[in-house]
Structure 1
Amino acid sequence: MKHVSILPLFDATLTSIDSSHQILTRVNDFMRYQQRQPFYEVEIVGATKNIELGAGLYKVSANKTISEIDKTDLVVLPLLCGDFAKAIQKNNVYTQWLTRQYHNKAEIVCLCVGSFFLASTGLLDKKKCAVHWAAKNEFRTMFPEVSIIDDSIITDENGIYTCGGGYSYLNLLLYIIEKHLGREISVLVSKMFEIDIERKSQNPFMIFVGQKNHGDEIVLNAQHLIENNPTQSYTIDEICLKLGVGRRTFERKFKKCTGNSVAEYIQRVKVEFAKKHLEAGRKTVNEIIYETGYNDIDAFRKVFKKITDLSPIDYRKKYAV
């Protein structure tokens, strides 16, 4: 059996703790139905036996404390909600124990923005991490040594698993179950809990917010110019002329500060403009595309699908108000 330690971190959401406990425990029932041995021994493992969550709204009783667990096989870090810097400080009590367990071959399953705490331990340095789109800019600022992945909801690297997107942690749990026990059990869990096993990306849910906490005035002015004029088709040379800067240096600084090339940034702003109008549902798809400044409808459709994983028509069907 694999011993699973679910850590009730400070500012963790009760749902992510309980869901992890329920799903992994239920796997054992499915194994018994198939006349197989239980696979997971699941425990809540806290810094103390009694933990308050949700500013005292909930109380969790741990099965054991970290001082009682010398070795575990799988550590689940739940989703955090609140002030990440404060949560990191409060959860520092787990850092040494978590690091020791990882170096002792334990796998770490990190649910969504629990990654802020995991990154603070240094275990994610030089590794890939999926981060919720709304927290990506803050995460990049705090942990520049971590490689953010935003085209997939799950990363799997050297025994550390992360996911981006609030309830996408359910898909990460399915992924772990499949890795340990095979596709058949994972599909069974997805059916019993009614989880969409094929969800692979955050892109359809993402709202683009440019990174602006970089302190570069020229880049910030360029961002404002692009964002305030989503219907304009500025070339990079035109932007440089307006700002009075050289193209080569500007492009390099823009990429470094925002994480996007200038062309990518323009595309994302235009796609965000189109999404809002598609959600409103009053204009035709072609009218909206022309308003973004694109004359080539097919070209914009390709850009839109690349960024959202949906065609403009499918996006409207999914999100029209």
Structure 2
Amino acid sequence: MNSVCNDNKEGDNVMPAQPEKPYRVAILALDNVVATTVTGPADVFSFTGVLWEMIQGREPTPRFEVRIVSPGGRTVYCHNGIVLVPHGTMEDARPDIVIIPGIMEIDQTLERGTDALAWLRQQYDRGCILAAICSGSILLAATGLLDGRRATTHWAMVPEFRARFPRVDLEPDELITEDGNFFCSGAFNSFLDLSIYLVEKLCGREVAIQCAKIFLHDLGRHSQSPYTIFLGRHDHGDTTIRQIQQEMEEHFSRDFDLDQLARKHGMGRRTMERHFKHATGETPLVYLQRVRVERAKQMLESTNMSFDEISYQVGYRDAGFFRKLFVKYTSLLPGEYRSRFSREKWPASTL
């Protein structure tokens, strides 16, 4: 018997390296789901132990049995208009692993998804692995099961996630988080990272490498910070703080004296810093640093300027200091960032 899921077992389970039969995977499909986060994991798990063996001329040994399920087995309408017909009902499923895909229209999905939330809690009580992709972590957090646990989500959804679920230990720079039997991954395309990560946990490194080669996927990605765009929170309702944000965003290369900035807006520095942190989630200094790093990223992507020149353009005379800040917020050296994202790599005809 496969022992990942064990009815009535308390706490999180230790995952075995080799099952006696394929692991049972249930991919929970709801309306407004992101289609690739359903079909992508289904392909990864279905191919594991199959396609590599076929390429090598050996008998396939499927490692996973995959079923797409929905409440009542109903047809699912994906956000992009694709219609999915599930294999069966979530109510009848007895999975070892539940995949929670990315979702759109979050308020509507949560309002209509009370049965799905209850089902997820039941699967946790059975000892199942619960793995959420991208915004699927919001659905998982809505069960209350992530309170006090590590999680990640799409970088653009971090403010909303924190506002909804302050008890979750959100780590937005992480591409994958693991806490007991709970797994989360970052943006939508991280379904590959999470799926292959689970393959490695359950089937071993060798099988994971085989999957990575089949899907042309780079193993070992840990951070989504290189892809993050710093937007800053502007929906907080504090007009004075919004004015300060606008000054920083429009005049980022200036030397900002925080004492003068606070006096200009009729408050003391500590009061300004407290209000700014409450409204935006960042201190004024960190906010300015992130605005400058974002502008530097754009210059690395679109110009041939040296990093010393870019540092000066965004307000730093000490390029070495700014280099450290850049690495802190992107997890890449400036040269690595340019190599990965520079437009010069792509012919104009392909844009």
TM-score when scaled to structure 2? 0.83
- Checking the alignment, whether the CA contact within 8 Å between 1:77 and 1:108 is kept in structure 2 is yes
- Checking the alignment, whether the CA contact within 8 Å between 1:9 and 1:77 is kept in structure 2 is no
Within 2, Cα distance between the matches of 1:62 and 1:76?
Answer: 14
Within 1, Cα distance between the matches of 2:274 and 2:264?
Answer: 17
Q: Which has the higher helix share?
A: 1
Within 2, Cα distance between the matches of 1:257 and 1:129?
Answer: 23
- The two structures, once aligned, show a CA RMSD in angstroms of 2.3
Within 1, Cα distance between the matches of 2:151 and 2:224?
Answer: 13
Secondary structure (helix, strand or coil) at the match of 1:67 reads: coil
**Pair 166,320 (structure 1): closer, same or farther in 2 beyond 3 Å:** same
1:72 partnered with 2:95: yes
> Of 134, 151, 155, which aligns to 2:173?
151
- 2:331 corresponding residue in structure 1: 309
User: How many Å apart are 1:126 and its aligned residue?
Assistant: 2.4
- Checking the alignment, whether the CA contact within 8 Å between 1:8 and 1:51 is kept in structure 2 is no
What letter corresponds to residue 22 of structure 1 in structure 2? D
* Structure 1 alignment gaps of length 5 or more: none
What letter corresponds to residue 69 of structure 2 in structure 1? V
- Checking the alignment, whether the CA contact within 8 Å between 1:10 and 1:91 is kept in structure 2 is no
Residue-pair matches, total: 319
Within 2, Cα distance between the matches of 1:147 and 1:255?
Answer: 19
Within 1, Cα distance between the matches of 2:90 and 2:331?
Answer: 42
- 1:57 corresponding residue in structure 2: 81
**Pair 123,297 (structure 1): closer, same or farther in 2 beyond 3 Å:** same
Within 1, Cα distance between the matches of 2:243 and 2:167?
Answer: 27
TM-score when scaled to structure 1? 0.91
Within 2, Cα distance between the matches of 1:56 and 1:170?
Answer: 20
User: How many Å apart are 1:65 and its aligned residue?
Assistant: 0.7
Per-residue deviation, residues 246-302 of structure 1 (Å, max 9, x unmatched): 333332333333222222111100111112222221543322211111110111111
- Checking the alignment, whether the CA contact within 8 Å between 2:34 and 2:80 is kept in structure 1 is no
Within 2, Cα distance between the matches of 1:72 and 1:31?
Answer: 24
Secondary structure (helix, strand or coil) at the match of 1:115 reads: helix
**Which stretch shows the higher mean deviation, 229-238 or 202-211?**
229-238
> Of 45, 48, 56, which aligns to 1:27?
48
Per-residue deviation, residues 179-198 of structure 1 (Å, max 9, x unmatched): 11111111111011111112
What letter corresponds to residue 12 of structure 1 in structure 2? V
What letter corresponds to residue 66 of structure 1 in structure 2? M
**Pair 58,293 (structure 1): closer, same or farther in 2 beyond 3 Å:** closer
Kindly indicate whether structure 1 or structure 2 has the higher relative contact order, using CA contacts under 8 Å at least 6 residues apart.
Answer: 2
**Pair 310,139 (structure 1): closer, same or farther in 2 beyond 3 Å:** same
> Of 9, 25, 37, which aligns to 1:16?
37
- 1:247 corresponding residue in structure 2: 269
Within 2, Cα distance between the matches of 1:56 and 1:190?
Answer: 27
- Checking the alignment, whether the CA contact within 8 Å between 2:52 and 2:210 is kept in structure 1 is no
- 1:45 corresponding residue in structure 2: 69
- 2:349 corresponding residue in structure 1: none
**Pair 283,37 (structure 1): closer, same or farther in 2 beyond 3 Å:** closer
- 1:178 corresponding residue in structure 2: 200
Within 2, Cα distance between the matches of 1:159 and 1:31?
Answer: 28
